[in-house]
């Protein structure tokens, strides 16, 4: 692509231009995508409402950019390489032609099952190529996908389906994940008992675990595809979408109890995902790119599906987990497919680091050229381990900071361009204008400072609204500080202007790179019988980055404590999903509250961290003696 930055001097020039002439800058980049109609105006905006429109007046379909436009030049090159959970099962390769064909056929399946432009479609699937096919088929028809990660519970799915009033669900009988079989369809059946908006469920065969199929509602993916063959419904014209039509909804946790449906729109998201993918990883034609995320998270949307495919890349999709059958699995995959670019999460690196280098030894990792990290702050120890043992000190590590709401990478080194500093995301990408502010929203200028990270100018990939509740989008992101997008992250800027994101400053815990709201977990714990009140905080965890520590007040009961802990864990798993189970539960008699009844989380955080000496001023507490009790009962 013509927009790849090749040197640090060029980066500085491009960056300067992107800030001084943002519309000109983005128009140049956007013109390298495929449009049905060009825009009238590159950008209209205010952060007050917020009102954000990129490429207004333009029309396009993102799947033509991800599929059709590559057919002539690289139709026979692999678009998706798929590696199964079980190393003994055969891998699959879909060329651009084959992927285009499958997406078109499945889009026709959706059409025949009543899916129309603008409908919301819930996707709850394992990491198989059909998941990418389902996502792209929705986009081809202009239906809005809402992918829900396979680890969420029936209740969480139901909440998301109801919030978006989804008309269809695409799922599979079950999933393989490590040595477990996960009953996806049965979880969907439980969820659908609460959802009347869903008219049809399309079920892919994966592990063929027994499923109940309801007449008139449930159909098999394979049967429907066969029907399309018989009807010769091979082609599916791509809907002509407006630039700002909604492309997808992805739910994410915030500081309130209810996850928000982050909305991304067609044109801006496409341009931003494609541009950042190409630049950050410096992708070259025919390279094999492997992102270990799940498509259920934003990283999978932007950097397994849309970013790489929009650039004609080969994207490797892995169904399993890094530790199955053993901790050498990722390195085996790198060796098997001669992976050039590996993009993974600090939590995976730390867990593989703990398993020991014997799982790396003997694996040929010579193909690797660029390494990437995403999802949480990477600690220096993990950074060096990754650099030495995987990159053999010859691969740059791009520590990419971004969020579900930003759509794509915001602050990150550009591989082989930006000088690296371990555990630092370094510099903003072109078009991104970060600033640090204090509690009052006053800008903290200069270097060697830290503050709350905000962005002061729009970028094409940014959140447009929270589904069904624009006001929530405003209060969450644009109301804390006037005229700024607030990220919720704390951040340092070193003497040389390198950014280092230190973690959330709100009530969000980042567990293994997954965002979990403390309020959500508290609500789930409080739903457990006998629980009177609870307070949840994060604490440093060797592998997960942060763990979940719950302080719980219970009524007297006869069950022994450990059993009660497990029961509470079950309740949380049922309401949110296993990913939100507290790592530690401490039963307490009371919580540290101010006279106005607010829980002082600062104190609980310190106790959870094991820092029991310097708790700061506790004199404003209603009952300071409670703190002693809690300290003594620490686990």
Spatial strand order in the sheet of 144-147: 218-220, 200-204, 168-172, 120-124, 144-147, 246-252, 260-265, 465-466
Query: Shortest gap between Cβ of 437 and ligand 7RM (angstroms)?
Result: 16
Given 168, 504, 564, 565, the residue binding ligand 7RM (CB under 6 A): 504
Distance (Å, whole) CA 330 – CA 321: 8
Nearest approach in angstroms of CB 472 to ligand 7RM is 16
Distance CA 247, CA 60 (A): 11
User: 59, 278, 510, 518: which one contacts ligand 7RM (CB under 6 A)?
Assistant: 510
Query: Is 501 an interacting residue with respect to ligand 7RM (CB under 6 A)?
Result: yes
- Out of 59, 403, 480, 518, the residue judged to bind ligand 7RM by CB under 6 A: 403
CB of 192 to ligand 7RM, least distance (A): 27
489 binds ligand 7RM (CB under 6 A): yes
- Our CB check for ligand 7RM shows the closer of 100 and 515 to be 515
Among 15, 402, 457, 467, binds ligand 7RM (CB under 6 A): 402
Integer Cα distance of 287 and 307 in angstroms: 14
Q: Centre a 10 Å sphere on the Cβ of residue 370 and count the other Cβ atoms it contains.
A: 22
Q: Which of 259, 434, 458, 488 binds ligand 7RM (CB under 6 A)?
A: 488
**Least distance CB 469 / ligand 7RM (angstroms):** 18
Residues 315 and 309 sit within 8 Å (Cβ to Cβ): yes
Give the Cβ contact number of residue 46 at 10 Å.
11
Asked if residue 503 binds ligand 7RM (CB under 6 A), the reply is yes
CB of 211 to ligand 7RM, least distance (A): 30
Minimal distance, residue 621 CB to ligand 7RM, in Å: 29
Q: Which is nearer to ligand 7RM, 107 or 298 (CB)?
A: 298
Does residue number 151 form part of the binding site for ligand 7RM (CB under 6 A)?
no
**Buried/exposed 388-427: b ≥16 CB within 10 Å, e otherwise:** ebbbeeebbbbbbbbbbbbbbbbbbbbbebbebbbbbbbb
Binding flag, residue 401, ligand 7RM (CB under 6 A):
yes
> CB nearest ligand 7RM: which residue?
404
CA 631, CA 635: separation in Å to the nearest integer?
9
Q: Is the backbone peptide bond immediately before 50 cis, with ω within 30 degrees of 0?
A: yes
Contact between residue 309 and residue 133 where contact means Cβ atoms under 8 Å apart: no
Q: Which is nearer to ligand 7RM, 224 or 294 (CB)?
A: 294
Q: Which residues are within 8 A (CB) of 384 and not within 5 positions of it... i.e. 6 or more apart? A: 422
Question: 358: part of which helix (H) or strand (E)?
Answer: none
Q: Footprint of ligand 7RM on residues 254-313 (CB under 6 A)? A: 297-299
DSSP H or E stretch at residue 442: none
Which DSSP string corresponds to 366-421? TT--EEEEESSPPPHHHHHHIIIIISTT-S-EEEEB--GGG-S--B-PPTTTSPP-
Helix, strand, or coil here: 455?
A: strand
429 touches ligand 7RM (CB under 6 A): no
Sequence-distant (6+) residues with CB within 8 A of 546 are 376, 503, 509, 510, 511, 538, 539, 540
- Name the one range near ligand 7RM by CB under 6 A: 17-25, 431-439, 483-491, 575-583: 483-491
Rounded least distance, CB 627 to ligand 7RM, Å: 29
- What is each CA distance from 12 to 401, 414, 431, in whole angstroms? 19, 12, 12
490 belongs to the binding site for ligand 7RM (CB under 6 A): no
Closer residue to ligand 7RM in complex, CB, 106/289 = 289
Number of residues located near ligand 7RM, criterion CB under 6 A: 24
Close Cβ partners of 96 (under 8 Å, ≥ 6 residues apart): 67, 70, 71, 74, 75, 76, 77, 78, 79, 312
Residue 345 CB, shortest distance to ligand 7RM, in Å, is 8
Residue of 83, 173, 376, 520 that binds ligand 7RM (CB under 6 A) = 376
| Near ligand 7RM by CB under 6 A: residue from 99, 327, 425, 550 | 425
DSSP 3-state percent helix, strand, coil across the chain (nearest 5): 35, 25, 40
Q: Is 382 in the site for ligand 7RM (CB under 6 A)?
A: no
Q: Does 585 bind ligand 7RM (CB under 6 A)?
A: no
Least Cβ distance, residue 185 to ligand 7RM (angstroms): 26
- CA 505 to mean position of chain CA atoms: 19
Q: Cα separation of 265 and 464, whole Å?
A: 7
| From candidates 404, 465, 523, 546, binder to ligand 7RM by CB under 6 A | 404
Q: Which of residues 345-374 bind ligand 7RM (CB under 6 A)?
A: 374
Q: Does 344 bind ligand 7RM (CB under 6 A)?
A: no
Nearest-approach distance from CB 142 to ligand 7RM, in angstroms? 25
From the list 85-93, 139-147, 467-475, 510-518, the region that binds ligand 7RM by CB under 6 A is 510-518
Q: Are strands 180-182 and 175-177 parallel, antiparallel or unpaired?
A: antiparallel
**Is residue 513 involved in binding ligand 7RM (CB under 6 A)?**
yes
Q: How far is the CB of 619 from ligand 7RM (least distance, A)?
A: 32
Binding window for ligand 7RM (CB under 6 A); candidates: 67-75, 325-333, 358-366, 394-402: 394-402
Sequence-distant (6+) residues with CB within 8 A of 66 are 136, 305, 306, 309, 310
Q: Does 400 bind ligand 7RM (CB under 6 A)?
A: yes
Residues that bind ligand 7RM (CB under 6 A): 252, 297-299, 374-377, 399-404, 425, 487-489, 501, 503-504, 510, 513, 515
């Amino acid at each position: 692509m013509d927009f790849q930055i090749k040197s640090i001097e060029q980066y500085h020039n491009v960056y300067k231009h992107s800030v001084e002439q943002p519309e000109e800058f983005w128009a140049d980049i956007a013109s390298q995508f495929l449009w049905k109609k060009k825009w009238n105006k590159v950008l209209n905006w205010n952060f007050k409402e917020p009102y954000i429109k990129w490429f207004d007046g333009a029309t396009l379909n993102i799947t033509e950019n991800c599929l059709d436009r590559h057919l002539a030049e690289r139709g026979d090159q692999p678009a998706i390489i798929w590696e199964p959970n079980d190393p003994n099962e055969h891998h699959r390769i879909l060329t651009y032609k084959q992927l285009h064909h499958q997406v078109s056929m499945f889009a026709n399946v959706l059409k025949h099952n009543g899916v129309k432009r603008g409908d919301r479609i819930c996707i709850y699937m394992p990491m198989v190529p059909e998941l990418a096919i389902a996502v792209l088929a929705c986009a081809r028809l202009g239906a809005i996908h809402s992918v829900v990660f396979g680890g969420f519970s029936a209740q969480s799915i139901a909440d998301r389906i109801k919030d978006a009033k989804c008309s269809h669900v695409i799922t599979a009988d079950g999933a393989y994940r490590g040595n477990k079989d996960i009953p996806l369809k049965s979880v969907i059946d439980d969820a659908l008992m609460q959802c009347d908006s869903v008219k049809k469920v399309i079920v892919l065969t994966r592990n063929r675990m027994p499923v109940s199929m309801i007449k008139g509602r449930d159909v098999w993916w394979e049967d429907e595809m066969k029907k399309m063959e018989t009807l010769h419904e091979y082609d599916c014209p791509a809907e002509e979408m407006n630039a700002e039509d909604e492309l997808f909804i992805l739910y994410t946790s915030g500081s309130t109890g209810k996850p928000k449906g982050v909305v991304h729109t067609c044109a801006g998201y496409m341009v931003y995902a494609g541009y950042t993918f190409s630049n950050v990883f410096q992708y070259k034609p025919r390279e094999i790119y492997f992102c270990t995320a799940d498509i259920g998270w934003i990283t999978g949307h932007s950097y397994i599906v849309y970013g790489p495919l929009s650039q004609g890349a080969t994207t490797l999709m892995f169904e399993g987990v890094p530790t199955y059958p053993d901790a050498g699995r990722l390195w085996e995959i790198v060796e098997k497919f001669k992976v050039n670019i590996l993009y993974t999460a600090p939590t995976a690196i730390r867990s593989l680091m703990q398993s020991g280098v014997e799982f790396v030894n003997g694996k040929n990792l010579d193909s690797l050229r660029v390494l990437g990290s995403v999802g949480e702050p990477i600690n220096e120890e993990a950074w060096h381990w990754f650099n030495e043992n995987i990159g053999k000190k010859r691969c740059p590590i791009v520590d990419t900071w971004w969020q579900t709401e930003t759509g794509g990478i915001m602050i990150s080194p550009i591989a082989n361009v930006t000088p690296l500093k371990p555990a630092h995301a370094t510099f903003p990408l072109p078009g991104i204008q970060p600033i640090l502010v204090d509690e009052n929203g006053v800008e903290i200028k200069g270097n060697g400072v830290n503050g709350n990270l905000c962005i002061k100018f729009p970028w094409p990939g940014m959140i447009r609204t929270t589904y069904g509740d624009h006001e929530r989008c405003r209060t969450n992101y644009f109301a804390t500080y006037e005229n700024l997008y607030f990220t919720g992250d704390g951040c340092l800027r070193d003497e040389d202007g390198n950014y280092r994101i230190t973690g959330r400053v709100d009530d969000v815990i980042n567990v293994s790179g997954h965002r979990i709201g403390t309020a959500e977990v508290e609500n789930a714990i409080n739903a457990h019988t006998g629980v009177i009140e609870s307070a949840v905080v994060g604490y440093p965890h060797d592998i997960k980055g942060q763990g979940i520590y719950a302080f719980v007040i219970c009524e007297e009961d006869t069950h022994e404590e450990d059993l009660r802990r497990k029961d509470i864990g079950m309740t949380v798993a049922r309401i949110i999903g296993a990913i939100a189970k507290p790592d530690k539960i401490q039963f307490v008699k009371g919580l540290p509250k101010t006279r106005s009844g607010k829980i002082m989380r600062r104190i609980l955080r310190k106790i959870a961290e094991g820092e029991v000496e310097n708790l700061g001023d506790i004199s404003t507490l209603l009952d300071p003696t409670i703190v002693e009790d809690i300290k003594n009962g620490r686990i």
